Every structure is written in structure tokens, then in C-alpha cells.
Amino acid sequence: MTAPFSDDPTLAPSRPVVRMRPKSNARAIRHGFPWVYANELVTDRRTKALVPGAFAVLEDEARVPLGLVSVNGASKIIARMIDTDPNAVIDQAWFEARIARAFGLREKIYDTPFYRLIHAEADGLPGVVVDRFGDVCVIQPNAAYADVHIEMIRDALASVTGVSCILKNASGRTRGLEGLDDVSMTLLGETPSAPVPVLMNGATYMADLTGGQKTGLFFDQRPNHAFAAMASKGARVLDVFSHVGGFSLAALAAGATSAVAVDGSAPALELAKAGAAASGFGDAFSTRQGDAFDTLAALREEGATFDVVICDPPAFAPSRQALDAGLRAYERIARLAAQLVADNGILGLCSCSHAADLSQFRAACVRGIGRGGRQGAIIHTGFAGPDHPMLPQLAESGYLKSVFFRL
């Protein structure tokens, strides 16, 4: 099999070439779309022989170069745009330049070292996610080329940020779709032996960087936590699918009188309790472990009501094939949650499903609220924070949306 191309500039003319099929959407690539799907690329013997992660020059059907791509024949996204310059040298300096640009933006926006540092295609590193937790960075290399060059990415990341610990998180559905393994490891420094305290929105969250979900914490909801907190002063709050207490801890920090966190994961709720204690409002915080749908129904049977209810479920529609079932699940959550909201209270509903756009998600929420016997007016629509930039040409990079209703 052909080895991945060495980026020695003297060897640049020997780079393999891959070509888009006739009538494929080369125009979208020219206008910034970063992916080539398997049915758009000529997959001859030479292309099939490329090792996953190899770099190649992408040409349109007329043999006009479009840029430099990484190729992975095991993925439906067979090529990812790496650089619009087909002769770009992909070395540590190249990675440092991309990381430094992203790092500079975050340093301007945030006054604490807790944020998403690299948001994949939108930050010029396709398939690569990096979250920063103070002196620790967690990398999710969700594309084959990133796995091939993980040591170079590690060195570039350490050089730009100065962090002393870098972890590789290989969990998640995306790596499986790319044909990659699920082996996580420590790339630099000592593995954290305890959860890392993260300061956000006036609260302290506990992030398990080695055994928690994703990289340990969801930074994307930070601005939506802040809005919910603003609306929670003096309120009784219910935080469903709470993970480590995202909405509930922010609400308590802003003056909520009480908060109940609901999640199916006992370890996540233990971290939420630890965060509440570290934040100084453990007495006002309680948890309920169990299935969210069952717990909402049980609370209804108990006659419970809350001034603010927020539901932040996992992706019910992770693909187009799952869209219809996912929208029905969002509708059901909205129906059950709406019945627990006090008169003139607030219901916040969130979706991280890129397959469900805002209008589809909002319509499902409105149907659910109506079927729950309530009426609502939208008071706020939220998205991910600026550390999760959206590439305009790639809808998937703008996956998160939240809609807040006054009922």
C-alpha cells in the first residue's frame, strides 16, 4: 500500500492526485465546502491504495487543482479539504499557524482558560476538536490524517498554548464512521488523577477528562446557561439531561432558590453534586437519577411544578435517517416538560442534532407544548458560543440550538 505522503517540499510534485467525478459539485468545494463524499470522487486503483490519512491534490473533472485534501477510503467523507494551496507543506509550523489563529480568538474572548480551542473545519483543522481545561488540553482526532499526524499536532498544541498535559480522547461515533480505533491515551505530561474544576458563569463544574462524556464538559452551552441563569433569579429550577449540572449550577449561581438535576448517569450526577458543593450552594441542589422521560412523567404524577425547566438531551436525530424519530422525541420531551412549568414560567428546550434544523426543531417543540395543554411565546433563541464557530458552508458546524418559551 502507498505510504502517506511525506511533506518534504522537494517531494511535492510526487503527491498523488485524486479527481472529482463529472457532474459532481466542484463548485461547492471552490466556494468553501470542505468535504468530498465517496460518490463524488473517482475511486480507481491508485485512489483505493492510498493509506487512510494520506494527502493528495484534489482536481475537478477538468483536471484543475482545487487544493490539498486528506483521503480516507474507509469513510463516506472520502476527502477533507486541508488547504486551498495544493502545494502547502503540512508540517508542525502549518499546524502551529492554525492553532495560533484559533488560540488568539479565544484569548480575546475569554478571561479564563476553559473553552473549545479548536472546532474542526471552522478553525481550519478538519475533524479535529480540542477542548482546553486550564493546563490540560483534550484532543479528539476524528479524521484519519489527524491520527497519522497526532504527534505533530501534540507538539504544535504544546508550543502554542504552553499546556503541560495533552490527552487523546478516542471515544465517540464519529471515529467509528472514519474506521478509526477507540483507544484513548495521554500524549503529554501526567494523566489527571481527579476531576478538573472549571469556572463558568459563576459556578464551579467538575470535568472528568478521562472517564466522562466527550472531552469531559460541554462548553458549547455556556451562553445558553447564562441566559437561563439570568431568568432563574428566585426560581425553582429543573435541569433535565443535566450531565454535570450545566444549567442548574449556573442558575443557582445567579440566585435560583433551588435546582433539581435529572440524568441517567450516576457518575455525572456525582460530579454535579461535587460542583454544587465547590460552588457553595450544595443545600439548594438535589438530583434524581433515571430515564428522563420516566422522571418527567413521575414528577407530573407527584404534582411537582417549577418556575424554570430546561431540557438538554443528547442528539435524538444524529443523521437524516433518524430525523423523523428524533423530531418525535423532541416533541415528546416538550410535551412532558411543559406540564411541569408553573404559570408564566420558562421552558428551555435544546437540540444538538445537526440533522434537525432550527425551524424543524422549533416546530416540534411548539407541537409538544400544545399537546401538553400549554401555550408559549418564544423569548430567546440561543446557539453555541463563539468558541464553537460555524463554517457558513457547513451546516453541521452549527449544530446546537436552544429555544426558550414563556408559558
Q: What is the pLDDT of residues 177-211, one digit of tens each?
A: 999 999 999 999 999 999 999 999 999 999 999 98
214 confidence band (pLDDT: 50, 70, 90): confident
Q: What is the pLDDT of residue 173?
A: 86
Average pLDDT over residues 366-372: 98
Examine the pLDDT at 2 and tell me if it is beyond 80: no
pLDDT tier, 316 (very low <50, low <70, confident <90, very high otherwise): very high
Local confidence band at 391 (pLDDT 50, 70, 90 cut-offs): very high
Q: Is the pLDDT of residue 310 over 50?
A: yes
Q: Output the pLDDT for position 8.
A: 47
pLDDT of residue 14: 81
pLDDT at 5 over 60: no
d(CA 398, CA 122): 10
User: Grid coordinates in use for 388?
Assistant: 464553537
Buried-exposed string 83-106: b where 16+ CB fall within 10 A, e elsewhere: beebebebebebbbebbeebbeeb
| Model confidence, pTM | 0.93
Which three cell numbers, joined as nine digits, stand for 275? 460542583
> 296 to each of 243, 306, 335, 337, 403, how far by Cα in Å?
16, 12, 10, 7, 19
Closest CA to 143 of 34, 52, 19: 52
Q: What mean pLDDT comes out for the span 373-388?
A: 97
pLDDT tops 90 at residue 395: no
Residue 3 pLDDT level (bands cut at 50, 70, 90): very low
pLDDT surpassing 90 at residue 60: yes
C-alpha cell at 376: 408559549
pLDDT of residue 384: 97
Which residue type sits at 95? Answer: F
Q: Taking a C-beta distance cutoff of 8 angstroms, is the pair 252, 281 a contact?
A: yes
- Are 58 and 79 in contact by the 8 Å Cβ rule? The answer is yes
The 10s digit of each residue's pLDDT in 215-254 is 889 999 999 999 999 999 999 999 999 999 999 999 999 9
Q: What is the pLDDT of residues 134-184, one digit of tens each?
A: 999 999 999 999 999 999 999 999 999 999 999 999 998 889 999 999 999
Distance of CA 230 to the CA centre of its chain: 24
Query: Which pLDDT tens digit goes with each residue over 259-287?
Result: 999 999 999 999 999 999 999 998 999 99
Greater model confidence, 294 or 177: 294
Pairing label, strands 401-406, 377-383:
antiparallel
pLDDT at 1 over 70: no
Distance CA 110, CA 132 (A): 12
Pairing of strands 54-59, 165-168: unpaired
Looking at residue 7, its pLDDT comes to: 47
pLDDT at 398: 86
Apex CA 365: angle with CA 342 and CA 372, to 5°? 45
pLDDT at 13 over 80: no
* N-terminal to C-terminal alpha carbon distance within the chain: 62
- Rounded Cα gap, residues 184 and 207, in angstroms: 17
Mean pLDDT of the 300-305 span: 98
**Secondary structure, 3-state, the chain:** CECCCCCCHHHHHHCCEEEECCCCCHHHHHCCCCEEEHHHECCCHHHHCECCCEEEEEECCCCCEEEEEEECCCCCEEEEEEECCCCCCCCHHHHHHHHHHHHHHHHHHCCCCEEEEEEHHHHCCCCEEEEEECCEEEEEECCHHHHHCHHHHHHHHHHHHCCCEEEECCCCHHHHHCCCCCCCEEEECCCCCCCEEEEECCEEEEECCCCCCCCCCCHHHHHHHHHHHHCCCCCEEEEECCCCCHHHHHHHHCCCCEEEEEECCHHHHHHHHHHHHHHCCHHHEEEEECCHHHHHHHHHHCCCCEEEEEECCCCCCCCHHHHHHHHHHHHHHHHHHHCCEEEEEEEEEEECCCCCCHHHHHHHHHHHHHHCCCCCEEEEEEECCCCCCCCCCCHHHHCCEEEEEEC
Rounded mean pLDDT of the chain?
94
User: How far is it, in rounded angstroms, from Cα 184 to Cα 181?
Assistant: 9
pLDDT tens digit string along 317-346?
A: 988 899 999 999 999 999 999 999 999 999
> What structural domains and CATH numbers belong to the chain?
9-83 (2.30.130.10), 92-188 (3.30.750.80), 196-406 (3.40.50.150)
Strand partners, 309: 238, 347
Half-sphere exposure of 336 (CA within 13 A, CB side): 21
Which pLDDT value is given to residue 76?
95
Give yes or no for residue 90 having a pLDDT over 70: yes
